[in-house]
Each structure stands twice: as structure tokens, then as C-alpha cells.
Structure 1
Amino acid sequence: MAKSKVLDMVLVGGATAVAGGIAASGAQAQSLDGFYGGISYADIGGDYGLEFADYNFEGGSAGLFTGYNLSVGDMVLGVELAYVGSDITIEPSAYDYTFNNLIDISGRAGKVFGDVFVYGKAGVSFVGVETDFGYWDGNEIASGAHVGLGLDYVIADRYFVGADVTRRFMRYTDEVGQYVPSNEIDTASLRVGMRF
């Protein structure tokens, strides 16, 4: 199932982050202060519950991200804005449900171990939702909290590659919420970026 697939990627990503940090712990930490940005590709999965059934979904999409890091003692703190241009339609029986344009605003905190930056993050997410239940349809922007973890690995003076896993807990207005009370959206992303 899609949710299990992404959950497996979350566990692998977490293990990779820990292993990478330990392997690089003996190297001299680099400064990551300043602005950065890049591109990503996300494997998307999760589930959503109608009033009468639960459904799983999966897909993939390219995205963009930008942010700012600041060193505070031996920690690196930052903020990040990320966009995934998802366009996934789920069709349970006669009911269509589509979400697109996923946006995350995150606070990040982590440590640098040589060439590896390991971090955790939390914040708020937004996604466009289109619903067509035959007898009722509509559009809205759903929102919710998210948590995640990831790592960036420096491959050149200003360039890095990374991996990021995020789980979002989306909620809807009363109008849509009477049919779709909850929705989890998971992503496992590969990232390429540069510091400015």
C-alpha cells in the first residue's frame, strides 16, 4: 500500500541520516549560514478518510525549495519554504478527490557533522483540494501541521544533495470536512541545492 511504501522510505531516510552523521562526526563542521535554494523530486503517498471508508494514494512530482540557515552555538537553526507541484486524483467509486500545489513552511534545527547536516523540522502545510462527490463539489485550500527529518550532504563548495521525509496532518473546513474529515500526506524527497 502507498502509505507503507512511504513509511518504509521514512525509516530508511532516518537510518541514513543517523549513519551519515555518525560517519562524518570526526570531520570539521562547515558553516551553512545564509540563503539556499534548489530543486527536488518527491514520492508522495498517504491516506484520506471519507465518512464511510478510508483510501490510500500515491504519486510523484518535482518541486522547489528555498530557505535561510543561522548557526547558534553548535546548532544550525533555519526556516524553509518548499513547494511540490503535486496533481493527484483519487477516484473511489463515483467520488473524485484531487490535491495539488503542496506548500510547506518549516522551522528547522540540526547539527553539522563534517559534510553532513542532519536536521529535524516542523511547521504548517497548505494544499489545494478539488472535490467532486456527484451531489456536491467544491474547491478549497486545506491546511495542517507537519513534522519531518532529513539530511544535506555537501558535494562542492556551495552545492549539496539531500533527502527529506515529511508527514502532514491535513484538516478541512466544515463544508468539505463533513465528507473528508482527515488526510495524511507523506513525502520522501531527493533534493539538489546550492548556498548563496
Structure 2
Amino acid sequence: MTRITLTTAAILMSTSAAFAGPVNVPPPPPPIIVQPDEPYDGFYVGLEYGIAQGDILETELLVTPTPFTFTPEGSAWGGFAGYNVQNGSMIYGGEIRMLHFIGVEDAGFEFEDVIDLRARLGFAASDTLMFYGALGYSTSNAVAAGVQTDLTGFNYGAGVEYNVTERWFVGADVTGRQLEGETPAFSYDGTLNTATLRIGFRF
């Protein structure tokens, strides 16, 4: 009798479930897409310090041209600011920097400062290490025999950056510049090279 009762109850339960219709199973939640980490993307600012060396040819304009070469050298310090766009391992950006010079002079010719505007193309070897090359335009203030003059031209360089934290980084930069300019009496043509160590902050 007990066996018959249990069997009957099981039949009734299955019948009730059948009449209740299909069970609605909620759809699975959409997958969460994790954006790739781009540690070099965005604005950055920083400071730098290093050495500077020039090789300038002076040519007299008023009389028979008499070339004279200056080789000023000294130290450089300044700041920089820029913006990077990272696409995978490639990094594209632009940068402006200003360097002041200390003792970059020779025989009456002295470099006072330089402003560099440059585009940068970089390669991210990892989330902490980046290499880059740069190309752009430079303008420099100089004093020659007591006369202020502006020298302008193009710059080219290369560097490396290392992310110490998510925001702070250190680096090294080497930049060469081909500059020219003139005063009423002389023309100037030559190079201005810098090698600096950098520290910066990413926003």
C-alpha cells in the first residue's frame, strides 16, 4: 500500500510539472571586456639635466669672409611637456621643451637657451620600458661678441623611458640640432647637442 501511494505521488508531481510549462532560464550576463593597459597614453611633464656641446662656424659678412669655429660646452637644465597616443606597442606623440645653458660658451660666443618642438615615435618593449626617436624644429638664443642673435633649424634625437610607477618615470635623451642665424656683421652655422637625464610624471 505504501509503495502504491509513493508511486501515485510521483506520478502526480511529474504531471503537475508538465502542465506548468517550460522553465524560463535567464540568459547569461554579457562578457566583461577588459581594455588593454596603455601605460604611456596621455599627458606628461618633467624636468631634465645634462650636458651641452656646440660646434659653430662664424663667417664675417662685411669684408673678405674669415671663418672661425667656436666649440662651446657646458651644462643644460630645463623642463618638458608632451602628449602620447599608444596603439598596441607603438607610441605617437608631440613634445615641447626648453633648456637653459650654463657655461655653454667659447671665445665670446655663448648659447643661452633653446626651445625644441618635436614629434616622437616610440616602441613599448614592455609596460615599463619604452624607446623613442624624435624629429622637429628648434630655436636658440645666443650672444656673439655682445650681440644677441637667434639661431633656428631642425632637431633629431633618441631616448629611453622607464616607468618606475604607474605615474612616475625616468629616462635619458640625446638630441642633436642643426642651427643657423646671422647678425649684421656675421653669419653662424653649426650644431648644438645635448645629453640629459629626465624625470617625469604621467597624468
Band of TM-score, shorter chain: 0.7 to 0.9
Question: 1:66, CA displacement in angstroms?
Answer: 0.6
Tell which structure's C-alpha radius of gyration is larger.
Answer: 2
Percent identical = 30
User: In 1, are the aligned partners of 2:52 and 2:104 still within 8 Å (CA)?
Assistant: no
- 1:188 pairs with 181, 186, 195, which one? 195
**Distance (Å, rounded) in 2 between the aligned partners of 1:32 and 1:91:** 40
- 2:172 pairs with 158, 163, 175, which one? 163
- 1:148 pairs with 143, 146, 157, which one? 157
Question: Compared with structure 1, are the counterparts of its residues 29 and 48 closer, same or farther at alpha carbon in structure 2 (3 Å cutoff)?
Answer: farther
User: In 1, are the aligned partners of 2:73 and 2:104 still within 8 Å (CA)?
Assistant: no
The yes-or-no answer on 1:35 pairing with 2:38 is: no
What per-residue deviation string (whole Å, max 9, x for no partner) do you get for residues 38-70 of structure 1? 110021012111232223121002210110000
The yes-or-no answer on 1:80 pairing with 2:95 is: yes
Question: Compared with structure 1, are the counterparts of its residues 129 and 179 closer, same or farther at alpha carbon in structure 2 (3 Å cutoff)?
Answer: same
Question: 1:73, CA displacement in angstroms?
Answer: 4.7
* Mapping of residues 1-196 of structure 1, within 5 Å: 30-51=38-59, 52-88=67-103, 90-92=105-107, 96-114=108-126, 115-132=128-145, 137-173=146-182, 175=183, 179-196=186-203
| Unpaired stretches in structure 2, ≥5 consecutive residues | 1-35, 60-66
- Give the match's secondary structure for 1:188: strand
Q: Name segments (4+ residues, structure 1) moved above 6 Å.
A: none
| Aligned-partner residue type, residue 90 of structure 2 | M
User: In 2, are the aligned partners of 1:122 and 1:145 still within 8 Å (CA)?
Assistant: yes
| Unpaired stretches in structure 1, ≥5 consecutive residues | 1-27
- Report the structure, 1 or 2, having the larger helix content: 1
**Distance (Å, rounded) in 2 between the aligned partners of 1:153 and 1:29:** 16
**Distance (Å, rounded) in 2 between the aligned partners of 1:187 and 1:155:** 24
| Aligned-partner residue type, residue 131 of structure 1 | A
Question: Compared with structure 1, are the counterparts of its residues 72 and 108 closer, same or farther at alpha carbon in structure 2 (3 Å cutoff)?
Answer: same
Greater RCO, 1 or 2 (C-alpha within 8 Å, sep 6+): 1
User: TM-score by structure 1 length?
Assistant: 0.75
